[in-house]
Amino acid sequence: MILAHKIALTPNNAQATHFARAVGVARFAYNWALAEWGRQYEAHKTDPAQPKPSQAALRRQLNAIKREQFPWMLEVTKNAPQMAIIQLDEAFKHFFAGRARYPKFRRKGLHDRFTLTNDQFVLDDSRIRIPNLGWVRMRESLRFTGKILSTTISRVADRWFVSISVDTQDLSHLPKAENQGAVGVDLGVSALATLSTGEVVTGPKAHTALLQRLRRLSRSLSRKQKGSANAKKARTRLARLHARIANIRQDALHQLTTGLTRRFPVIGIEDLNVAGMLRNRRLARSIADMGFFEFRRQLDYKSDLRGGQVVVADRWFASSKTCSCCGHVLESLPLAVRTWTCPACQARHDRDGNAAFNLRNYAVSSMASACGGEGAGLGGNARVKPAPMKQEVSAKATYG
């Protein structure tokens, strides 16, 4: 199983400058290859005798011209431009498979990173050796044992991190999920998650809490002269605040998903159309502040690691409008209505708690059907994410 451990670095000024150069080289190589890919692809369409573009050919082409045209690329590791072109090839594979949009040019300051293969760096306890640079201190040592595959050095605001991918068989630090049965989880805006057990997780709402400070720093940056030292300082302060908001949100989601996968072997959730929900201009900011997509991503891989199962109800499953006592389904239930009384059995329901309980029943019913029993589900199509039967099944998780 492939796991990734993300660790903060503590480089000095010279090392941070070298990292920035390597990131710039990787970004330039990616953008150069993307432009060349488009040009060669159009030439092939016009004249089929011309070869189709490929990452191997583009790498050879760049190696042939970089000493004369781009000599500054030789100041950093050769992996920086080469791995960037390989990543572009992966992006095109996802595009042609219909899993992603056409690759875009990389921008400075946005997802700055470069990647090294396992033969280009050395780990020694709490430090890492980078080609053309030397040893750089890490905040902690690598947690996992196994075959080291690659590492990616990235920048968030003014901090540097290293993410080390390890192929490991040792998952002893993650015991199996406790046998507390199944749980339904209903995600919301007023509360991050409502569980079928009655627990309500409010969530930090970091962006909302720090919105005034965010606006103030944004105004401060807009008033600075572009390219000045003061503008650079203001941009760094704003980036730090954005990173703080993301860290607060990530911490809350990690605590919630770790607790759920540790306690419950079966978890029922809804397949939310997050992209569609974000088109609602009145709720988009609050929805984005909760991190629904990140919640599901973490829940999926953590459940796999602990041998649990995530049951995903169809997005048209009426979890809120269905009475969890008798199964009666309302014709409509406006979003402003938070409590309602079932006209069939007179049971009074909290909207979110009722939805969570229906998702719990749906997960139990789907699991019974998957195991050969007779399910008593309330309709819809469930997608059960099974636990891996062997440790050789590939899954990728990021810690840190």
Rg (CA), the chain: 25
In whole angstroms, give the CA distance from residue 282 to residue 374: 43
Sign, CA torsion 154/159/160/165:
negative
CA distance 64 to 94: 28
Task: List CB contacts of 272: < 8 A, sequence separation 6 or more.
Answer: 187, 292, 296, 315
User: How many CB atoms lie under 10 A from the CB of residue 239?
Assistant: 18
Percent of residues in the chain assigned helix, strand, coil, to nearest 5: 40, 20, 40
Alpha helices in the chain (DSSP H): 13-46, 55-69, 79-96, 206-209, 211-222, 229-263, 274-277, 284-290, 292-305, 351-370
CB 161 within 8 A of CB 4: no
The Cα–Cα gap between 62 and 163 comes to 27
CA 262 to chain centre: 20
Q: At 184, is the secondary structure helix, strand, or coil?
A: strand
DSSP symbol at 80: H
d(CA 94, CA 100): 5
Angle between helices 13-46 and 79-96 (to 10 degrees): 40
Cα 266 from chain centre: 22
Cite the active site residues.
186, 270, 352
Provide the pairing of β-strand 2-8 with 396-399.
Answer: parallel
CB 187 within 8 A of CB 270: yes
